């Protein structure tokens, strides 16, 4: 008979149990980052590169798994995103240095990087693996430890992927526990992690409720709000190119990125031409009846029908009885209102794009702003135009922190196909009730201690370049005395700083002194 583990008294849902569970993981992370902060830049980057390699090699494997587990998105596009969050992400920040002192001779300032420490990261079900990759990599680049809380709907693939990346990191020399993931996340457990004083910063990507909970946790948080990107196609645009970009973007991973275009706004003079170009790019333009059906399918009383998240255009058309050609990539729903009276002007994480024809440019901008008043403040918008007067006016008016110009918004706002920082956490800033308005990157996970000299004093801070930065690497392994192979005399007692500076007491002399004192002591004790 095999012994079985029985739980006669179940306390698993009590505050004490949740706290106990969180404490151990977070404290292990604290130890890991403490040791990690002894590492130099080269070692750090070797670890980052090893993790990126593993992420890249497994991009397809986890793309397939994520789609299978969540039912969201397109394998091929998820693979691409998983790859983008490996090498390209690392390469984007490769030349940034988050490890060494920064020396500013002119201002006589020396800056010392101070990693956040323990990063608690929520990852969504929509972009599970890409977000796991991305958050792990930015944490490692800055020598932080990270504890990931996966969305329950994408738990299995995330746990497997994070453990694989953790193993790769440790194999490359990272301290054990630098990457951890919660096996069985529950809301009370996640709240416990968020509120723990052992958490230094929360990186919250996910639903609004979770993001608000992160901000309410009492810990520093970088949380981001939802998107609802308007895209304006101006009369000065290259309409054919614009249509291609929009369809590519909207169909990319079935619109599961929060940066996807939600409402297309255009002008009467190019309406026909644009529709033609959209059709040519395999968009299906709905008629009034289709729009009614779509609205009914996509929006329930309580909000967006999650069944439709990340589904492809033909699946959605089929679900609501719209007959579309088999090669349809997106559905376009013409609407005549933007705002509370038109549900289709809300965020839609599926390849359905609302379309509204404005009477003029001013009205178009007003409609774009109205779209963002629904949701998506601080997030993203796109414009297709050749006239810079128009683009600047648009960008200066809409309340977002990134405006993608003449490019697909899904990818472009997240830093792919544009030179914005590649990210899976879009800072929605003050417009969007967030602390950061940029694309979140490694620089958000490190603060700097700044040493500042008197402006009047002459001081060459360049001297700091020659000083040790205390990169001692991993801790030496403590001995297990008596266990074969565990050396007990593992460390020659090194000459201390004291002895170097002073009366040239070398090791031999000190050993002699030690012996003399010991003998004297023995004599005293004998008496």
Binding mask 168-207 for another protein (x = CB under 8 A): -------xxx--x---------------------------
**Smallest separation (angstroms) from another protein to the CB of 492:** 9
Rounded distance between C-alpha atoms, residue 262 and residue 279, angstroms: 18
479 counts as binding another protein under rule CB under 8 A: yes
Out of 488, 508, 523, 527, the only residue in the binding site for another protein (CB under 8 A) is: 488
Q: Is the dihedral of CA 170, 174, 178, 179 positive or negative?
A: negative
Of all helices (H) and strands (E), which one includes residue 393? helix 388-397
165 counts as binding another protein under rule CB under 8 A: no
What are the φ/ψ torsions at residue 126 (nearest 5 degrees)?
A: -75, -45
501 counts as binding another protein under rule CB under 8 A: yes
Clarify whether 258 is annotated catalytic. Answer: yes
Q: Nearer to another protein by C-beta: 90 or 182? A: 182
Q: Nearer to another protein by C-beta: 19 or 186? A: 19
**Smallest separation (angstroms) from another protein to the CB of 25:** 6
Q: Which stretch binds another protein (CB under 8 A): 320-328, 384-392, 429-437, 516-524?
A: 516-524
What are the φ/ψ torsions at residue 32 (nearest 5 degrees)?
A: -60, -45
Out of 484, 508, 523, 527, the only residue in the binding site for another protein (CB under 8 A) is: 484
Q: How many residues bind another protein, per CB under 8 A? A: 57
Residues contacting 154, CB < 8 A, separation 6+: 66, 69, 70, 123, 124, 125, 128
**Smallest separation (angstroms) from another protein to the CB of 9:** 5
Q: Nearer to another protein by C-beta: 406 or 499? A: 499
480 counts as binding another protein under rule CB under 8 A: yes
**Smallest separation (angstroms) from another protein to the CB of 486:** 8
Rounded distance between C-alpha atoms, residue 242 and residue 367, angstroms: 19
508 counts as binding another protein under rule CB under 8 A: no
Cβ-count burial of 327 within 10 angstroms (0-12 exposed, 13-18 middle, 19+ buried)? exposed
CA angle 267, 317, 208 (to 5 degrees): 75
Cβ 342 vs Cβ 206: under 8 Å: no
Residues contacting 296, CB < 8 A, separation 6+: 320
475 counts as binding another protein under rule CB under 8 A: yes
The residue from 158, 258, 286, 308 that is catalytic is 258
Rounded distance between C-alpha atoms, residue 369 and residue 468, angstroms: 53
In order, the DSSP letters of 283-334 are: EEE--HHHHHHHHHHHEETTEE-GGGTT--HHHHHHHTT----TT--EEEEE
**Smallest separation (angstroms) from another protein to the CB of 513:** 7
56-66 burial: b if 16+ Cβ within 10 Å, else e: bebbbbbbebb
C-alpha of 138 from chain center = 8
**Smallest separation (angstroms) from another protein to the CB of 53:** 24
Q: Nearer to another protein by C-beta: 46 or 163? A: 163
493-513 burial: b if 16+ Cβ within 10 Å, else e: eeeeeeeeeeeeeeeeeeeee
Q: How far apart are the first and last CA of the chain?
A: 66
Q: Nearer to another protein by C-beta: 288 or 481? A: 481
514 counts as binding another protein under rule CB under 8 A: yes
Q: Nearer to another protein by C-beta: 10 or 288? A: 10
482 counts as binding another protein under rule CB under 8 A: yes
**Smallest separation (angstroms) from another protein to the CB of 135:** 20
Cβ 30 vs Cβ 116: under 8 Å: no
473 counts as binding another protein under rule CB under 8 A: no
Rounded distance between C-alpha atoms, residue 478 and residue 487, angstroms: 9
69 counts as binding another protein under rule CB under 8 A: no
340 counts as binding another protein under rule CB under 8 A: no
Q: Nearer to another protein by C-beta: 5 or 106? A: 5
Q: Which stretch binds another protein (CB under 8 A): 245-253, 264-272, 388-396, 493-501?
A: 493-501
Cβ-count burial of 285 within 10 angstroms (0-12 exposed, 13-18 middle, 19+ buried)? middle
3 counts as binding another protein under rule CB under 8 A: yes
**Smallest separation (angstroms) from another protein to the CB of 18:** 10
In order, the DSSP letters of 75-93 are: HHHHHHHHHHTTHHHHHHH
Query: Which residues carry out catalysis?
Result: 258
Applying CB under 8 A, the residues found at the interface with another protein are: 3-11, 14, 16-17, 19-20, 23-25, 27-28, 30-32, 34-35, 175-177, 180, 475-484, 488, 491, 493-496, 498-499, 501-503, 505, 510, 513-514, 517-518, 521, 525
């Amino acid at each position: 008979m095999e012994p079985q583990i029985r739980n006669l008294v179940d306390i698993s849902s009590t505050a004490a149990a949740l706290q106990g569970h969180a404490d151990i993981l977070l404290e292990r992370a604290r130890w890991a980052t403490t040791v990690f902060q002894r590492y130099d830049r080269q070692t750090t980057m070797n670890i980052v590169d090893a993790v990126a390699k593993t992420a890249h090699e497994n991009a397809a494997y986890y793309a397939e798994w994520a789609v299978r587990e969540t039912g969201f998105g397109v394998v091929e596009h998820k693979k691409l995103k998983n790859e983008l969050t490996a090498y390209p992400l690392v390469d984007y920040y490769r030349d940034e240095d988050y490890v060494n002192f920064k020396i500013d001779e002119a201002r006589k300032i020396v800056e010392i990087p101070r990693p956040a420490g323990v990063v608690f990261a929520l990852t969504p079900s929509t972009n599970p693996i890409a977000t796991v990759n991305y958050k792990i990599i930015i944490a490692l680049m800055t020598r932080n430890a990270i504890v990931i809380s996966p969305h329950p709907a994408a738990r299995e693939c995330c746990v497997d992927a994070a453990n694989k990346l953790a193993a790769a990191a440790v194999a490359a020399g990272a301290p054990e526990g630098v990457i951890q993931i919660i096996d069985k996340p529950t809301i009370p457990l996640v709240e416990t992690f968020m509120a723990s004083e052992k958490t230094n910063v929360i990186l919250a990507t996910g639903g609004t409720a979770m993001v608000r909970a992160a901000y309410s946790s009492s810990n520093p948080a970088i949380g981001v709000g939802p998107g609802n990107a308007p895209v304006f196609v101006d009369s000065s645009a290259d309409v054919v190119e614009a249509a291609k970009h929009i369809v590519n973007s909207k169909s990319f991973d079935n619109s599961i990125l929060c940066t996807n275009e939600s409402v297309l706004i255009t002008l009467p003079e190019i309406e026909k031409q644009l529709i033609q170009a959209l059709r040519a790019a395999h968009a299906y333009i709905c008629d009034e009846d289709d729009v009614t059906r779509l609205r009914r399918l996509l929006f329930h009383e309580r909000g967006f029908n999650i069944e439709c998240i990340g589904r492809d255009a033909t699946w959605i058309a089929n679900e609501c009885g719209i007959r579309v050609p088999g090669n349809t990539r997106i559905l376009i729903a013409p609407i005549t209102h933007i705002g509370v009276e038109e549900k289709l002007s809300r965020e839609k994480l599926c390849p359905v794009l609302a379309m509204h024809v404005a009477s003029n440019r001013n009205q178009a901008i007003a409609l774009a702003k109205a779209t963002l008043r629904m949701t998506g403040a601080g997030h993203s918008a796109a414009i297709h135009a050749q006239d810079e007067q128009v683009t600047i006016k648009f960008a200066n008016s809409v309340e977002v922190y990134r405006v993608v110009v003449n490019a697909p918004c899904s990818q472009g706002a997240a830093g792919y196909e544009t030179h914005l920082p590649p990210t899976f956490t879009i800072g929605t800033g003050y417009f969007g009730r967030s602390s950061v308005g940029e694309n979140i990157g490694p620089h958000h996970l490190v603060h700097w201690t700044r040493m500042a000299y008197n402006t009047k004093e002459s001081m060459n801070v360049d001297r700091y370049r020659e000083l040790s930065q205390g990169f001692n690497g991993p801790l030496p392994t403590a001995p297990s005395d008596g266990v074969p192979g565990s050396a007990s005399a593992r460390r020659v007692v090194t000459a201390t700083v004291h002895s170097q500076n002073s009366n040239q007491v070398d090791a031999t002399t000190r050993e002699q002194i030690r012996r003399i004192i010991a003998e004297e002591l023995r004599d005293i004790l004998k008496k």
